[in-house]
Amino acid sequence: MSLINETHDLALKSWVTSANTGTSDFPIQNLPFATFRRRGSNEAFRGGVAIGDQIVDLKALAASGLFRELAGEALEAASDTTLNRFMGLGQAHWSALRLALSRALRENANEQANIEPLLIAQAEAEYDLPCHIGDYTDFYTSIYHATAVGKLFRPDNPLLPNYKWVPIGYHGRSSSIGVSGQTFPRPKGQTKAPDAEAPSFGPCKRLDYELEMGIYLGKGNDLGDSIALDDTDNHVFGFCLFNDWSARDLQAWEYQPLGPFLAKNFASTVSPWVVTNEALAPYRTTWTRDANDPQPLDYLESNKNREIGSYDIIMDVAIETETMRKNGLSASVVSQSSFKHSYWTVAQMVAHHTVNGCNFKPGDMIGSGTQSGPEHEEAGSLLELSRGGKEAITLNNGEKRTFLEDGDKVIMRGWCEKAGFARIGFGHVESTILPAK
């Protein structure tokens, strides 16, 4: 099954020359969306599309009247202060605008003279959340992460029996999700040492990041209806990088019996650019389930999901300490993994989320859960890398970490590479920890 079309052609080049370097996250084959304005201005935020190191101002482009029919309708919606209305239009509109932009930004396009004055340098922009995130659900799709963390919290029973049957998730707090550049104070709460008679209150001592993908829903479903496994591509708009911050000592004390609460709701950070599901078509790959494991129930099983259910998105995470910033040193990359290692696919997450009649709305977001690979160095959290805080990792400048310290900045990146197709990327997401209030 192929979802490839002319917008993915490796031979395409743009008249925006910075898109043609071969190393840019934003070649013409990508065309991700964000909401932006000129940094420091009082302008309204509006939709934009990345091309090389520039942004196409979609509000200005809509005013030009260049695009018509479905592409024109989509463009008008994408010029709002959020992308929700555009997301809600559905796949036909998303694809029409992507194709129109691709053709207008190609070398020798007749539209160059009209669009070139509408470009704004990314270096001069600031970003908001791409959409209003009404609801957010965090899943737990890496079996490697689930097993490693389970061994730390439940040595005698690390992987609960439902994990291999059900895509596990919990409803998170959307109000504390911020865009890249977010800062937040170290959270406070209750913790309890294993040998203590009673819990104590104070700042978190085991603050951690989680390397995740965020998945934005576009066209929703009515309350009481479900989204079939093979229909999820009509509802998944796009993907971002997602850092779901975690207070591990608060989590260890509070998580039973109802799961995460204060350990997770104080901050989460997304990258500004949303890479569309269509742009990721070349990097979709086969999904398999170990023959010795339970096979999915019928509503979570299909040939399409087996054939192209996984996404090979490479992800890495780096830590920049205050000392590194003062000395002008680069951040230290501490791990790298891939989204293809997920035990459950995006389609399975969406189908399961709605099988009981739960309704999605445009802009709702799903977190993938921490994306750890099969090797220890592919762990997507410090909890795993430090083996529960028992083994410090050494950064490039010799500093050591078991968990994060005040002033640490965490930077995550993501990209896709495949022979015969262009390299595309997600940019990055970064956030800095402030001292507890």
* Residues tagged active-site: 145
Say how far apart CA 355 and CA 177 lie, in whole Å. Answer: 26
Any bridge partners for residue 269, and if so which? 178, 243
From 256, 253, 260, select the one nearest 202 (Cα to Cα): 253
Three-state secondary structure along the chain?
A: CCCCCHHHCCCCCECCHHHHCCCCCCCCCCCCEEEEEECCCCCCCEEEEEECCEEEEHHHHHHHCCCCHHHHHHHHHHCCCCCHHHHHHCHHHHHHHHHHHHHHHECCCCCHHHHHHHEEEHHHEEEECCCCCCCEEEECCCHHHHHHHHHHHCCCCCCCHHHHCCCCEEECCHHHEEECCEEEECCEEEECCCCCCCCEEEECCCEECCEEEEEEECCCCCCCCCCCHHHHHHCEEEEEEEECCEEHHHHHHHCCCCCCCCCCCCCEEECCCEEECCCCHHHEECCCCCCCCCCCCHHHCCHHHHHHCEECCEEEEEEECHHHHHCCCCCEEEEEEEHHHCCCCHHHHHHHHHCCCCCCCCCCEEECCCCCCCCHHHCCCHHHHCCCCCCCEECCCCCEECCCCCCCEEEEEEEECCCCCCCEEEEEEEEEEECCC
Alpha-carbon Rg of the chain, whole angstroms? 22
Please, what sign has the CA dihedral across residues 39, 45, 50, 51? negative
Residue appearing with tokens 């992460």: 145
* Of 236, 216, 205, 244, the residue nearest 83 (C-alpha): 216
**Which tokens go with 179?**
């865009």
